[in-house]
Structure 1
Amino acid sequence: MSSSTERTLRDVVYATRPGFRPLSLDLHRPEADGAPLIVFVHGGGWRVGSRRVMCPTFAPEHGFPRLVADGFAVASIDYRLSGEAVFPAPLDDVAAALAWLREHQGALAVDATRIVLWGESAGAHLAALAGLSDGAVRGVVDWYGPSDLVSFPAPAPSDEHPTREEALLGGAVADLPERARAASPARQVAPGAPPFHIAHGIDDTAVPAAQSEALHAALVAAGADATLQLVPGAGHLWQGLDDPDDVLSPALAFARRVTG
């Protein structure tokens, strides 16, 4: 790790899996010790992606530095991609990162009793599942994540196979119904779910906004604190969004509220 005066720690290994690459995280911290912690899970269709990037269409200053400037520490984590291992491996990795951060919060000078999970696209899917199963996170920020693989639009015959969803599951949804249900946040919601802030572009053609609507409906039905922000004119990865602050400010306000 870097010295105590360095506020960003990079390439910190949080888990080793036999037969796989070490799993690492980057920790971005504000000047004040003991900040609440955002655990960020990157997107990329479960196939690709990097913990270095918050949202591929945002300028750097609208990424992790914006969250740190708002008083949060941010741990951006690796997880095994679908070419390495199928579900539930990536979810297990998110759980391992949460456990490691809690165990080492003193040395890291962060407050891991106040964790918000935040993900985009495939990372939002994993963040939602982890938040629903962890039992101790303060909240989840879900940016345009798939929520129901069972009802996800079926691939066209001309689509690449395996699809992103098939690669995650290790086969077609129809052939793995129990695994598809277990990998669907909207079908895992139960009373006691943590607060959620969900945001989705109405013009998203990669992950339909109906996926976020289904998760929001399930959370509300279970009595959870859940908000849904549907953004006109925005596509996947917030393409077409005029001002990143339109989605950053509500998400950060939610994070401040649930960790306050």
Structure 2
Amino acid sequence: MDDLIGSIGGPGDTLLGVPVITELSYAPADPPGGRGHLLDLHLPATTSDGPLPVLIWSGGSGWMADNGKDSADLIAEIFNPMGYAVAGVSIRASSQAVFPAQLHDIQAAIRWLREHADDYGLDPARFVIMGDSSGGWTAAMAALTGVDDPPSAVRAAVAFYPPTNFLQMDEQMPPGGREFFNSMFGLTACHDDPASPESALLGFPIQTRPEEVRATDPASYASAAAPPIMILHGQDDRFVPHGQSVLLYNALRAAGATATFYSVPGAGHDRREVLDPANHIGHTVYRTAGGTERITVGAPAPSWEAVADFLRAALH
């Protein structure tokens, strides 16, 4: 493994005790000097009997940064010991390119990883994707728009508090949420503001061209053929309202897809809060497959173990 890291694709290093190949270019730099074309590949410290399943991670930034790969080290710390290779993927910021560039970026990264699977001991048939916030949007969009030719499909997706229907975000904000969001971003009209993260992603004020905004909504791509999707969202989220995940889950259920939705009271826009057992009293779990739904309250708990079980079931 050390020889592989030192000789293929990029500099070898260790991060949190995990071997990592950094700064791999999955596409040309556009614009020059940007980082939205790079990925890091975190490999398990011990060898495997066969090619590795791949967990693709892209962290959120409100589409304002091209550093989505940088938070993959924490995901690798959890999933490398489970036998996954973790690919941290950066996509372009909205200031560098407008939608659909970000969707094209994640699809290009998936194709690149598949094309180079043999080089790094990866299993091209076992790709899954995960992200939080705008990275959760990236994961859901990749899962619901992936195709076999060219091969950008994944087997499952996990989306932490993803934005989905931009045009409904303001009406779904919790009490005090609009004021909080405006103060954080220096806005006056929350998500509908011409300078909001969503408007910047599209390159125009979102309420002025609603038909074009629909293309950014992962729910609009829901179908019975979608890979299994897990959604986790805190009910007290003041950045991306909880209702955004409700819309996505309902669309998946109506389409006959397989989906699991954890709705967590007391949790905000933070993975730690969503996964914190202190917030797991009275949380609701919605599970649907083929149009049949099962709802439980208080169990199972949202946890990394639950995420791992979900991915394991999807891959096997």
So what's the TM-score if we normalise by structure 2? 0.74
Question: Is residue 91 of structure 2 the alignment partner of residue 79 of structure 1?
Answer: yes
Contiguous gaps of at least 5 residues in structure 2: 6-11, 13-18, 148-152, 172-177, 183-187, 279-300
Q: Contact 1:141/1:197 (CA < 8 Å) preserved in 2?
A: yes
Residue of structure 1 in register with 2:315 after alignment:
259
CA distance in 1, matches of 2:272, 2:312: 26
Q: Contact 2:55/2:86 (CA < 8 Å) preserved in 1?
A: yes
**Letter in structure 1 aligned against 2:128:** V
- Displacement of 1:243 in angstroms is 5.2
Q: Contact 2:54/2:87 (CA < 8 Å) preserved in 1?
A: yes
Residue of structure 2 in register with 1:186 after alignment:
219
Q: State how many pairs are aligned.
A: 253
Q: Contact 2:68/2:91 (CA < 8 Å) preserved in 1?
A: no
Q: Contact 2:114/2:124 (CA < 8 Å) preserved in 1?
A: yes
Per-residue displacement from partner, 1:111-142 (whole Å, max 9, x unpaired)?
A: 12111111110011011111111133111101
Residue of structure 1 in register with 2:103 after alignment:
91
Q: How does 1:21-40 map to 2 (within 5 A)?
A: 21=34, 23-30=37-44, 31=46, 32=48, 33-40=50-57
Sequence identity percentage? 35
Q: Contact 1:169/1:176 (CA < 8 Å) preserved in 2?
A: no
CA distance in 2, matches of 1:158, 1:183: 20
- Displacement of 1:236 in angstroms is 0.1
Contiguous gaps of at least 5 residues in structure 1: 55-59
Instruction: Give 1 or 2: higher helix fraction.
Output: 2
Residue of structure 1 in register with 2:129 after alignment:
117
Higher relative contact order (CA 8 A, sep 6+): 1
Distance change >3 Å, CA 50–CA 243, structure 1 → 2 = farther
**Letter in structure 2 aligned against 1:38:** L
Per-residue displacement from partner, 1:191-231 (whole Å, max 9, x unpaired)?
A: 31111011111111111111111101100111111000112
Larger Rg: 2
Question: Is residue 245 of structure 2 the alignment partner of residue 212 of structure 1?
Answer: yes
So what's the TM-score if we normalise by structure 1? 0.89
Distance change >3 Å, CA 223–CA 246, structure 1 → 2 = closer
Question: Is residue 283 of structure 2 the alignment partner of residue 250 of structure 1?
Answer: no
Question: Is residue 75 of structure 2 the alignment partner of residue 42 of structure 1?
Answer: no
Per-residue displacement from partner, 1:65-97 (whole Å, max 9, x unpaired)?
A: 101112111101011001101100111000000
CA-based RMSD: 2.2
- Displacement of 1:18 in angstroms is 4.7
Residue of structure 2 in register with 1:52 after alignment:
70
